[in-house]
Structure 1
Amino acid sequence: MRLGITFAAMAATLAAVPLLHTLFDGAGWWRPAVLAVVAVAVAGAAARAARLPGWADPAVQAAAALCLLTALLAPPGTAWLGFVPSPAALAALRGLAGEGWGAILANPTPVPTGAGLMLVVALCLTLLALLVDLLAVTLYAAALTGPVLLAVLFVPLTVDQGGVGWRAFACAAGGYLLLLAVDGWERIAPWGTADPVGTPRWSRAGLRARLAALGGGARHLGGGAGIAAAALAVALLLPHAVPGLTEGAVYALAGGQRSGAQTVITTHPLVSLRRDLTSPTDRQVLEYRTSAARPEYLRVHVLDVFDGQSWTMSAVQAARRNRVADGDLPEPPGVDEDGGGTTAVTTEVAVPGTAARFDFLPLPYAARRVEVAGEWYVDPATLMVFSTQGEAAGLTYRVRSAVPDPDPAELGAARFSTVSTVDRGYLEVPDSVDPRVGELTRSIVSGAATPHARAVALQEWFTGGRFAYSLRPPAVPEGVDPLVDFLFDSRIGYCEQFAAAMALMARQAGVPARVAVGYTSGTRTADGRWVVTERNAHAWPELYFEGAGWLRFEPTPATAAGQPSATTPAYAVPADPGAAADEGGTEEERRPEAEPEPSAAAEPGPEDAATAEPAEPATGGATGSGAGWWVLVAVAALLPVLLAAPALARLARSRLRWARAGTPSARARAAWRELRADVLDSRLGWDPAETPRAAARRLAAQVGLADPARAALLRIASAEESARYAPVPEVPEDLAADSAAVRAALVAARSRRVRLRALLLPVLR
């Protein structure tokens, strides 16, 4: 049966799952995948116990995983017996997989978690588990699973600047080395286990022979563990000792050569933006001194290509002609040399050595001269300054900029010239954009006679109180365009959504536009320095006006409820605020045209999908062969075990936690951890920054707990605070009873669906 190597292959596959943790936003993306991997292992063991032909093992394993995913993710009523795939269930799963793949392509990492994403991840890891099992168990080639598992490592290295943490790497490497060790054990264990001729199996001599064999196997396993530990230590420590192997070196090596110029590949700027804005540490990014009384934003990247789903940056090339040799940069595009409209500003920037990797320099637009050490290049179209080898961390550089300062009256009176030096690509709008967005744009700018008036009208429409700012906007329903959802339905987002939407609508209004990503001005200190932190990360639209060039606009709410450090340029403030956001008619007249009922609203979202009736009822049946009945029998025997495994593991974890709680502090910690798990199971949210007492009060108000459960909850919170801070903790003896009372109250307050999910897929921590 080879049970040891079967479950070692399962463990090696599961050990690779943490490598994908940084790619997804939200909890639970891994659960169907993990259960599918377990199903592959258990089905493989069952198939080998039944002595099926070796070629049938992968088929049985794939069928078991498919049945499990059907039970977990297919709409109710579409599968035979609730888990056997029917044509209707398979059609629903295909649609769900298509939605998940679309979400992956449309969103930068971390990708929001949804049912479609869960299915795609589960299918990919099921294929991985099948390949690992085939190589290690069926083909006796465990070493060849290395390249297969290595493929998982390349996914985060390719799409996420954060790369892979050492813990995730160590876990994956440890799983692979465990597989090799178990494989070696099974290969040599039979060598010394034969009983001496004529010696009874359980005689003293027979037992001595078996103990000797076990000792040899243990020495083999210990030697393998030592080699594994040494190899793992070298893999983790070597990058810190050898220059060029740290952090983003993979990205630098990925660049190709084109006509003597190196193509630069960098992380998607919106990924870095989201990571900075949600950083719990809010570390300092840089500091600077400037001659400007009101400093401009520090721009890092420019996204100039919109594909209908997201904004991306055109490739920049480190050609010799673009090298920043003497410090001077090209003329900013579109600026009338005789028209003035700029202010000379000098800025000296210092980037700490501990800052994140900067291969693009943060600069105020439009930089005219940069004095910086190292080899840097400039993109003439955008004036981005970048490097292929160096980075700005630890550097101090000096920038002289010509900051745009056009006369608002002259800018407002100018009309967009059709004879423009700007690339017409800045006006491109894909045909795939929902027509309602264009209708909304036309209604907003209907009363604006000039390009500047249209730009101000769009800006005022976003900042006029119609939208809410949030770093954690609601998830976009499955199958709904994120842009349409932001503009017509949720109207909740942060600077990325505001900047991207206004830039697209500006193009529809005939104004060339792109999206810039960087940092706001930051905070001024008492000694005149300006300090920029991760929370100052920002995105904004840049719009082009012939004679004035590229100008910054600010559609993100610049309030305490939005991006507090955002500022609106003087030229973007309308002379008559009451009329600037004229959208053509009154609100009642405007909304039917501007915001028609989305046709996608009738489509089921992720919550409705689980309760919706199938589009077509399943008809007919299936008559299986003998092998088909074996599949049904195996799945029927396996499914209850798989469904009960998380609940049993959670119960065992809880029992063990209370059994070990022999001291007052341990009892308090056990009760608090049980409360955290119960709250997460109830989908109520858990904030580690809250104090125990604040968390208890919030939960009591949020759930509406009755007095007995509320009192039990407060006792648990008080015990946790006492265990944390009191020299001699005062902890009640019956905290286990309080924990059970609170759990029962939380369960009673939640919906049946949440209770079922908590029972089948509890939080195992």
Structure 2
Amino acid sequence: MSTSTERESGWLSSAGPVSALALLLTTLSLSSLLSGVSWLLHALVAIMVITGVGVGLRSLRWHPALVVLGQFSTLIGLLTAMFSTHAFLIVIPSGATAGDFAALASGAAEQIREAVPPVSPPSGMLFVITAGIGLVAVLVDTLAVTASAPAACGLVLLALYAIPASLSESLLPWWAFLLAATGFGLLLTAQRTDDSGGLRTNGLGPAALTVGGTAAVIALLAGSSLTGVGTEGRLPGELGGSQIGYDIDPMVSLRGQLDKKTQSELFRVRNLPDREGLYMRAVTLRKFTPNKGWSPEGLMAEQVDSTVLRQPDVERRPPGTLSTVSIEFVGAKTNWLPTFGLPLGLPNPQPGWNYDPEATVLVADQKLSGISYQEHVLLPQPSLEDLRAANGPSTVDPAYTQRPEVDPRIAQLARDITKDKTTTYDKARAITDYLRDRGRFTYSLDGPGKDTGDALADFLFTSRKGYCQQFAAAMGVLARLSGMPARVAVGYTVGFNSGEYRSITTGDPHAWVEVWFPGLGWQTFDPTPLTDQRVTPPAYQSDRTPSASPTTTAVPSPTASTATPTRPGSPDGSKDDAQNGGVTPTAQQQPNWPLGVPVLLLVVLLVALVVLSVVSVRTTRDPVVRRTRTAWGSVSALAAIGGVAVLAVFAALPWWVWVAAIAGMAFIAALVPMVARSVVRRRRLRQVAAGGDGAAIAAWRELRAESIDRGVAIHEADTVRGAARRMVKHHDIDEPGREGIRVLITAVERQWYSPTPPDSAELAASLHAVLASLRSRDPLSFRQRLWPRSVLVAPPSYDEAALEEPALDGEFSTV
């Protein structure tokens, strides 16, 4: 086929929209790395716009190279409009736009290094996602349409699918594979243009769909039932560094920002006494690096080969409660095995479990999930007198007394806070009270804010706001500077009391400080200013008398698929730690679906309407149909905008209103083809009744549309007599109908070759006779009435064998 012919017909290819759908289905696999819907909306906009521009430019017969250039330029304009504040007319980049893009890309690189999947992507990551998916969309569209090689797109889609597959330590969800395989299968069956300008398939057809679908199902079942082939261990990583499901990052960074916006149950704890000052420790951090934070460097874990755990060098056990606590992993997958208080033993230790008595850390050689274990534990509950009397030489590891190199102002602050304090308890209490002073520091999810290069100094002297990471890290440093052995502990609060157990969720990660007391060991101090009832500091932290049964709030147990109930806020309106703070604290609000759905529908409907309107208008020569389709395209666009506006209003209404509204819109949309066919029919019949030029052609086109609605393939290039023979044969038209067809044929040929128009009354009567015969001999089914083929399906190709059918008993061989 010549290049010109390719340009004239290539824009009609279905490979472009199908390749866009395949890319979108493959893009959904990124949901294992990204949370929320904002990233999906950005990717969807990029795919739809790039595909729409490709269809539009090919309809204008642009050279393939110019089409690619146009798509790339459109992507630049789209990125400029979405992410740059320095632009001309919103979409035209300026000299500063490149700087905006560079800053976003640089920020995204840092966010990718620090984030723990699944993350809610900030603007930098959204920019990279939109740009990357947009470039992939250009490549896929070029391969599928311009190069007529949709199968080659599989390599591109595979590369995209490999991103979450390589970064996830477990198999991706089954539906991610199924959607990607479905998209590629659709690509293989995508239609493209043949040499004659018609539409034909790639020759794969139903057989390919059957084989491909069967292969996808077999692969899916095999991957689910046979030995799992994940990616854990395929990429290098540190112990506890990368995470699956929900885990906590042991590297407490002062610049850490919240990244999870989901609520899921992680652990269930049984037999835990109902009292204050209890925290579930996952790991302790002994080394502080300026401007980076605390790390668990120097762990000396040894194999647990006995039910009794080795204890640190303590002269005597602190007063407290002995208990056997049961911990069940529900949604967590981590190397760190959380413990409470002072672990004394494990009734059933497993191979590969290791314990560091100095760090009080229990850790496994590999990530664990779905397990349960018991801990024999001493839950310390010393009195104020015990703590103030705990003086003497320290036997703790010197690593816990190492003074960090910090800004001199911080060292001076430590001296000022602890001046006139003589005991370890009074110093620790003074630092805790200083940081918990709400008139001095503010609890905030936004973190320290301003960054001058020293995050700790920024927190203590400039922003004075943060969440538990910042408060715990600051107290750990101030305690070390005051001469106290101290470490930062990372773990969880004790969650909700559900009756039979305490449920610990993704809203419960927390950080606090543990200070060493001679003769008593490590004792907890929580410097984060919170009022959550599930975060109750030890009684000795606030001069309270220890209570055996503090007040707690019993709430239903959250599950991995349901949101955690809202917790009480603080009196001053600030959010609590379980909701807003912690090592990886989680915001309670869910993704803004009510706003996302209208935006999604707006983009999809408008772009789809533009593409379909261009295609539908360009694929017919009938002026009546062209005018009708153009009008309906405009009406549909207005209806789409109005529908989205209505949905936006419904955002504040109950869910059943949404369901009813969507069902109503779906019902109306299902009626659109039937209504459009009725409008076209009425216009043609009026034109036939009025007579004059074009009446015979309108009558013939109406007859042809009626035949197409009944499943007969009639092309616009068919001769009138050949098409008439096919109608008579397939519809079993009776004699009055055949006579009417003869009159119609004569009228059409007279209009073509004679200056005298046919008689309008005779023409209308003949058309009605033929239509009556069709209704009686071959009535339309309900589906054919609801979705008429003449409206929904483009005319078939020239190459159908039926075009050369012989005449029926010589009928219509002569006029």
Normalised to the residue count of structure 2, the TM-score between the two structures is 0.55
**Structure 1 match to 2:72:** 62
Cα distance between partner residues in 2 of 1:316 and 1:137: 58
Structure 2 residue 510 is matched with structure 1 residue 539: yes
Cα distance 1:71–1:650, how it changes in 2: closer, same or farther (>3 A)?
Answer: same
571, 584, 606: which one aligns with 1:648: 606
2:269 maps to 1:269: no
Describe the SS at the equivalent of 2:207.
helix
Q: 1:337 to 1:649 in 2, by over 3 A?
A: same
Q: Which of 299, 302, 305 is 1:322 aligned to?
A: 302
User: Partner letter of residue 117 of structure 1?
Assistant: M
Partner of 1:16: 26
Query: Is contact 1:54-1:138 (8 Å) kept?
Result: yes
Question: Aligned equivalents of 1:172 and 1:425: distance in 2?
Answer: 54
Helix, strand or coil for the counterpart of 1:455?
Answer: helix
Q: What letter matches 2:535 in structure 1?
A: A
Residue 65 of structure 1 deviates from its aligned partner by 1.4
1:367 aligned onto 2:347: no
Structure 1 segment 296-375 matched on structure 2, within 5 A:
296-302=278-284, 314=296, 322-332=302-312, 336-341=313-318, 343=320, 345-349=322-326, 351=328, 355-357=331-333, 359-372=335-348, 374-375=350-351
SS of 1:565's equivalent?
A: coil
Q: 2:431 aligns with which of 458, 473, 498?
A: 458
Matched residue, 1:227:
211
Query: Do 2:400 and 2:486's aligned partners in 1 also have CA atoms closer than 8 Å?
Result: no
Q: 1:568 aligns with which of 537, 551, 554?
A: 537
The 1:305/1:468 distance shift into structure 2, 3 A limit, reads same
TM alignment of 1:19-58, pairs within 5 A: 19-21=29-31, 23-24=33-34, 28-42=38-52
CA distance in 1, matches of 2:420, 2:214: 71
Q: Which moved more, 1:29-38 or 1:648-657?
A: 648-657
Matched-pair contact (CA < 8 Å) for 1:25–1:111: yes
Choose from 112, 119, 126 the match for 2:134: 126
* Unmatched segments (≥5 aa) in structure 1: 195-200, 202-209, 577-641, 661-669, 681-685, 693-716, 725-765
Structure 2 distance, partners of 1:82, 1:218, is 41
Report the CA distance between 1:349 and its aligned residue. 0.9
- Checking the alignment, whether the CA contact within 8 Å between 1:407 and 1:571 is kept in structure 2 is yes
Instruction: Kindly provide the amino acid, as one letter, of the partner of residue 503 in structure 2.
Output: V
> Who is 1:98 aligned against?
106
The code of the aligned residue for 2:311 comes to E
Task: Give 1:103-114 correspondences, 5 Å limit.
Answer: 103-114=111-122
Cα displacement (A) at 1:305: 6.2
Instruction: List aligned pairs for 1:604-643, cutoff 5 A.
Output: none
Distance in 2 (CA, whole Å) between partners of 1:554 and 1:236 is 49
Within-5 A mapping of 1:414-433: 421-423=397-399, 428=404
1:288 paired with 2:270, answer: yes
Map Cα deviations across residues 84-135 of structure 1 (whole Å, 9 max, x no partner): 3222222233223333433444444454554333222223323433454565
Pick closer, same or farther for the CA change 1:720–1:571 going to 2, 3 Å: same
For 2:787, the equivalent position in structure 1 comes to: none
| 1:568 Cα deviation after fit | 1.6
643-652 or 19-28, which moves further after superposition?
A: 643-652
Residue 268 of structure 2 aligns to a residue in which SS? strand
Give 1:552's aligned residue. 524
Distance 1:72 1:300 in 2: 41
- Does residue 251 (structure 1) correspond to residue 209 (structure 2)? The answer is no
> 5+ unaligned residues in a row in structure 2: which ranges?
1-6, 546-599, 611-632, 662-815
1:82 CA drift (Å): 3.9
Partner of 1:242: 226
Query: What is the rounded CA distance, in whole Å, between the counterparts of 1:63 and 1:496 in structure 2?
Result: 44
Contact 1:343-1:404 at 8 Å conserved across structures: yes
Deviation per CA, 1:297-335: give whole Å up to 9, x if none.
322344556666776865899x9x833222333433xxx
1:393 pairs with 2:374: no
Q: Structure 1 CA distance, aligned partners of 2:286 and 2:143? A: 46
Q: Percent identity?
A: 25
Max Rg structure: 2
8 Å CA contact 1:524–1:531 kept in 2: the answer is yes
Shift of 1:156: 4.3
1:70 maps to amino acid: T
Find the counterpart in structure 2 of residue 752 from structure 1.
Answer: none
Residue by residue, what CA displacement relative to the aligned partner does 1:708-745 show, whole Å, maximum 9, x if unpaired?
xxxxxxxxx9x949989xxxxxxxxxxxxxxxxxxxxx
Q: State the shift of 1:367 in Å.
A: 1.7
Deviates more, 1:134-143 or 1:218-227: 134-143
Distance 1:169 1:300, change over 3 A: farther
Could you say if the C-alpha distance between residues 121 and 293 of structure 1 is closer, same or farther in structure 2, counting changes exceeding 3 Å?
Answer: closer
**Is contact 1:284-1:531 (8 Å) kept?**
no
Counterpart CA distance in 2 for 1:403 and 1:650 is 63
Write the distance in 2 (CA, Å) between the matches of 1:311 and 1:359: 21
Q: 2 CA distance for matches of 1:486 and 1:654?
A: 57
Q: Return the offset for 1:536.
A: 7.1
Counterpart position of 1:72: 82
CA 1:322–1:490 in 2, change beyond 3 Å: closer, same or farther? Answer: same
Distance 1:492 1:227 in 2: 60
CA distance in 2, matches of 1:658, 1:57: 29
Whether the aligned pair in 2 keeps the contact of 1:556 and 1:566 (CA below 8 Å) is no
Q: Does the C-alpha gap of structure 1 residues 524 and 265 become closer, same or farther in structure 2, counting only changes over 3 Å?
A: closer
| Whole-angstrom distance in 1 between the partners of 2:261 and 2:322 | 31
Look up the SS of the partner of 2:204 in the other structure: helix
Distance 2:144 2:370 in 1: 45
